[in-house]
Amino acid sequence: MDVVSYMVWFVVAILGLFIGSFLNVVIYRLPRECLSVWKQTRSRCPRCSVQLRWFDNIPLLSYVVLLRGRCFNCGKRISMRYPLIELFTGLVFLALLGIDLDADRIAWFDLTDPAWRVFAVHALVASTLIALSVIDIDHRILPDAITKPAIVLAPALAFLVPAAVPSSFWRPFAMGEWSANLNALANGVVSAAAASGFLWSIGWLGSKAFRKPAMGLGDVKLFAGMGGLLGPWFLLVLVVASFVGSLIGLVVMAIRKDRYVPFGPFLAFGMMVVMLRGEAIWKLVMTWLAPR
């Protein structure tokens, strides 16, 4: 690898760490509505309420080197999850870089290259899903403050960067310079409506059958956002999420004896897999189902 490539990998890793640090703020503050995500207040120690110094906020480094996992003032242990979420986000960004751009494009580092736009969309979606998943695990909710804007933003992103999502079979706009963009938009809008209707009906049937709410409205809104971005591919997300979710769910229930397993993280995983490799998965499924 040449110097430029190393630089690009390094900068993307640092970017991922800082986004991860911001996600920690979102995850902590968003469900606690008295705290603002955007207001410029530095994080405080939950025990002694001392404000962290600016250099305590450097992702990963502060935790490991400066603080050694403790509050500098009162010595209370700071949860491992903060550096872990930063690290995870950094690794996801690196993985996406490797998936979306080949070695030549990274070495060339031309930001007008459309592949960078694809990477930007994937990184944005991944970041949103990380925040949603952790909040779902912590509080068993998917906050409206994220899911509602996502429903509007998703078809807009599909329109702006259609290459970021698998292409759909329904192509009402066959001709013209903008046909790919308009097709992605049309698929997104129709699928957002279909996804919410579909999932809401399943939830409704489930609540009738089990006499308690089977699915939160948060899941429905997240699904609408997924449909808005992926078009009809949202159905494959449900398949992947249910498959992985039931496998891991069984293990978790066996270990923890806890009946509740949040579905959000599995939807997030399914969303990433289908967004990145939906067409390949579909081909695989079709090969299995094909008569021999």
**Interface with Zn ion (CB under 5 A):** 45, 47-48, 71, 73-74, 76
In a 10 Å sphere around its CB, with 0-12 CB exposed, 13-18 middle and 19+ buried, how is residue 72 labelled?
middle
Whole-angstrom Cα distance, residue 211 to residue 260?
17
Q: Which is nearer to Zn ion, 48 or 152 (CB)?
A: 48
Q: Which is nearer to Zn ion, 48 or 193 (CB)?
A: 48
Cβ partners under 8 Å of residue 111, min gap 6: none
Whole-angstrom Cα distance, residue 154 to residue 141?
20
CB of 98 to Zn ion, least distance (A): 39
In a 10 Å sphere around its CB, with 0-12 CB exposed, 13-18 middle and 19+ buried, how is residue 52 labelled?
middle
Q: Which is nearer to Zn ion, 71 or 275 (CB)?
A: 71
CB of 71 to Zn ion, least distance (A): 3
Longest dimension (CA), the chain: 69
Whole-angstrom Cα distance, residue 87 to residue 93?
10
CB of 81 to Zn ion, least distance (A): 17
CB of 77 to Zn ion, least distance (A): 10
Q: Which is nearer to Zn ion, 67 or 92 (CB)?
A: 67
Whole-angstrom Cα distance, residue 39 to residue 140?
25
Q: Which is nearer to Zn ion, 7 or 74 (CB)?
A: 74
CB of 219 to Zn ion, least distance (A): 37
